[in-house]
Amino acid sequence: MRKMLGFLFGLLVSLWLGVSLAVAQSGYPQPTDTYINDFAHLLNTSDAANITKLLSELKRQRGIEATVVTLNSIHDYPTGDETIEAFATHLFNTWGIGDNADHKGVLILVAVRDRKVRIELGTGYESQYNDEMQQIINEHMLPAFKQGDYSRGLYQGTRAIIATLTGVWPPDERPVQSSDGGSSVPVVEVSSRQQSDNRMGIFLFGAFVVIVGYLILAHIFGWPIGNSRSDDDDNHHSWSSRSSSSHSSSSSSNSSFGGGRSSGGGASGSW
């Protein structure tokens, strides 16, 4: 009887330890998006769209996978992590942020009730980047956070991170404040856009004139207007089929992370 009780007690302890371990491992939030997981609802619609655009371009052009995560508190999750540094490293590795070949992933984490921010870097980045991430937090994020403008701080911090990692500042899509307190689009950007539209209009008008002129001359002199050979049609259809197949294959890729790892590199700040 005593052996049976001892066996049952050991079994219960083993089950309790197993459940506790499983809860700790699954206690981190699950990602809902590749680029933004705003669980604390800190981002406004405009900044969220701009950050998504910046991070998607970063991944497409440079192969760097980065994501923004906002939480109310790290202590809302049963992970056992006592610091934002530990939470960020474990969350990074649980999600697998970044490519599993070069491990150049980035996690931008804000715990608003804890008044903590963390930029976690994958193992593909040398330790020299830690100081640069600290400078970004101090100069581009904390001033806005101290004013309660978390959305602006995250947007500015994201741009600064991209500039540091790529050597090129992305364009600032955020409207500037006008003197009367409203917002306005920077004059330089509007002027550039207008010039681009004007050039496009001139190009389209010129193309229209050339096409109409050719059709008139073709009608007068009997020039060929199209090519109706069946072998060309077959080649066209074959190419279209391959293009469609390729597009279908690329569009079927999912938005999950690439399996990157972090060993705790990065920087932290508080306000």
CA distances from 61 to 30, 32, 64, 65 (A): 26, 23, 8, 11
For residue 174, what pLDDT band results from cuts at 50, 70 and 90?
Answer: confident
- What integer pLDDT is reported at residue 158 of this predicted model? 98
Q: Tens digit of pLDDT for each residue in 178-216?
A: 444 444 444 333 334 444 455 555 556 566 656 766 666
Measured between alpha carbons, how far is 84 from 114 in angstroms, rounded to an integer?
A: 9
For residue 119 the two structure tokens come to 């930029």
The residue whose two tokens read 């404040």 is: 177
Task: List, in order of start, the domains of the chain with CATH numbers.
Answer: 27-175+262-270 (3.10.310.50)
The residues with which 99 forms a beta bridge, in sequence order, are: 259
Sheet holding 265-270, edge to edge: 36-38, 65-71, 105-111, 116-121, 265-270
The pTM score is 0.65
For residue 241 the two structure tokens come to 């089929």
Q: Tens digit of pLDDT for each residue in 43-55?
A: 999 999 999 999 9
Q: Tens digit of pLDDT for each residue in 2-13?
A: 555 454 445 443
Q: Tens digit of pLDDT for each residue in 81-108?
A: 999 999 999 999 999 999 999 999 999 9
Q: Tens digit of pLDDT for each residue in 126-156?
A: 999 999 999 999 999 999 999 999 999 999 9
Angle between helix axes 128-136 and 150-166 (nearest 10 degrees) is 150
Residue 176 scores a pLDDT above 90: no
